[in-house]
Structure 1
């Protein structure tokens, strides 16, 4: 075991003693990713809560904010960006309209269609949340020098692309 060891090292060492016939290197990577994911989830929830947002609200509001002026998208484009069902998206939009974080507007290009538009309050909350999120995630990575972060980002992108295709 390395001089500095974590819980994954201890788990892998125990399994290696019990099952020396198996290669536990996948656990050394993915068990750490799983544990880091839990820390990230907690940090994200805290950042969103400070802006009085739920994670699902963040998904919709941030998609609208990233769209740029006039901060509006069709429900179809929101579906594509948030990967939820049509019924779920309709429910989410309804709830965000109720909180006055978004509004529905007729699409000037097609009067039968609607656009979902970020309100000023929605923009204020999502801007505060992204600032808090970036700060929280920077703290999670502060143990790594920038070159290691960059290298890790490249490796994770490479791994992620295999799942996205």
Structure 2
């Protein structure tokens, strides 16, 4: 059973009443983004469950699909694209290989290592899941009055933060 969360507005209003120090002169941008992240994460996780994928598996398949054809990269390149430990990466790759979604061919440039590549089944799956995820995200974004303006502002903010 899914529990209903208190709305963001209700939570803010309650804070204003009972703990005003946390709301006076404070921007709602960050807390709103945290709440939006929860909704987007839930949307993604529900979709991943339908395909028997974990979030980290989806990210690994996406990173591979976002590589040049034939969608093969070294484990180190894949590791750099994801926010997981090397031990976590090993587990993710083992699960994806067991599911037939990736293959581990020999690396022609380094006989001591193996590449990570999408199988035909893995490519088809990640493309289908991503298409459905983008559709669901588009439904949520359609509720925004000026999505392009918001997108620009968020991208500028993110760029400033990442530049340090």
Alignment TM class, shorter chain as reference: 0.7 to 0.9
How far residue 103 of structure 1 moved from its aligned partner, in angstroms, is 1.1
Instruction: State the secondary structure of the residue aligned to 1:156.
Output: helix
Cα distance per residue 1:21-51 (max 9 Å; x no partner): 663432x222211221111011111222333
CA contact (8 A) 1:74 1:115 kept: yes
Could you tell me which runs of 5 or more consecutive residues in structure 2 were left unpaired when the two chains were aligned. Answer: 1-5
Q: Partners of 2:8 and 2:49 in 1: how far apart?
A: 30
Q: Partners of 1:59 and 1:159 in 2: how far apart?
A: 24
Aligned pairs (5 A) from 1:1-165:
7-18=7-18, 23-26=24-27, 28-145=28-145, 148-164=146-162, 165=164
Deviation above 4 Å: which 4+ runs of structure 1? 17-22
Distance 1:84 1:142, change over 3 A: same
Q: Partners of 1:47 and 1:14 in 2: how far apart?
A: 33
Q: Partners of 1:109 and 1:86 in 2: how far apart?
A: 21
How far residue 149 of structure 1 moved from its aligned partner, in angstroms, is 1.1
TM-score when scaled to structure 2? Answer: 0.84
Could you tell me which runs of 5 or more consecutive residues in structure 1 were left unpaired when the two chains were aligned. Answer: 1-5
Count residues with an aligned counterpart: 157
TM-score when scaled to structure 1? Answer: 0.84
Distance 1:17 1:119, change over 3 A: same
CA contact (8 A) 2:8 2:35 kept: no
